């Protein structure tokens, strides 16, 4: 893997993946900062491969109906609802 060449296009692409519509001046500022920060992350190249802790176990509970939020409570923080459902913008 070559060194990360962070340019404004790449920051714009990542912002697009992360669904954050950055302003032009933010793109410019982030590009410079990302060069420094990712450069610092390069130190991880020196980390030896290490065995991970294998003492993990799944925690299961019985699949039973339990008390939960009411529909009204679940919807109370939505800016737009209709007929007991969240209302959002068009998907595409």
Partner 1 sequence: MTEYNGYVTDETIEGAEDGPLAGRTVAVKDNISTEGVRTTCGSAMLDDYVPPYDATVVERLKDAGATIPGKTNMDEFGMGTTTETSAFGPVENPVAEGRVPGGSSGGSAAVVAAGDADLALGSDTGGSIRCPAAFCGVVGIKPTYGLVSRYGLVAYANSLEQIGPIAPSVEAAAELLDVIAGPDEHDATTQEAPEADGSYAGAADGDVDGLSIGVPTELLDGADEDVVETFWDAMADLEAQGASYHEVHLPSVEHAVEAYYVIAMSEASSNLARFDGVRYGQSGGYEGNWNESFADAREEGFGEEVKRRVLLGTYALSAGYHDKYYKKAQDARAWVKQDFDEALENADVLASPTMPVPPMKRGESLDDPLTMYLADANTTPVNLANLPAISVPAGETDDGLPVGLQLVGPAFGEREIIRAGSALA
Residues near partner 1 (CB under 8 A): 1, 4, 11, 14-23, 26, 30, 33-34, 36-38, 40-41, 43-53, 59, 61, 69, 73-74, 76-80, 86-92
Is the separation of the CB atoms in 6 and 29 below 8 Å? no
CB neighbours (10 Å) of residue 31?
16
Q: What is the three-class DSSP state of 26?
A: helix
Specify the residue, 9 or 87, whose C-beta has the smaller distance to partner 1. Answer: 87
Specify the residue, 83 or 91, whose C-beta has the smaller distance to partner 1. Answer: 91
Least distance between partner 1 and beta carbon 22 (Å): 6
Is the separation of the CB atoms in 31 and 11 below 8 Å? yes
């Amino acid at each position: 893997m070559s060194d990360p060449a962070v340019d404004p296009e790449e920051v714009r692409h990542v912002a697009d993946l992360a669904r954050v519509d950055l302003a032009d001046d933010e793109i410019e500022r982030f590009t410079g900062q990302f060069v420094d920060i990712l450069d610092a992350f390069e130190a991880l190249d020196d980390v030896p491969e290490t065995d991970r802790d294998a003492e993990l176990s799944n925690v299961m509970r019985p699949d039973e109906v339990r008390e939960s939020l009411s529909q009204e409570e679940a919807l109370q923080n939505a800016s737009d609802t209709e007929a007991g459902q969240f209302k959002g913008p068009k998907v595409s």
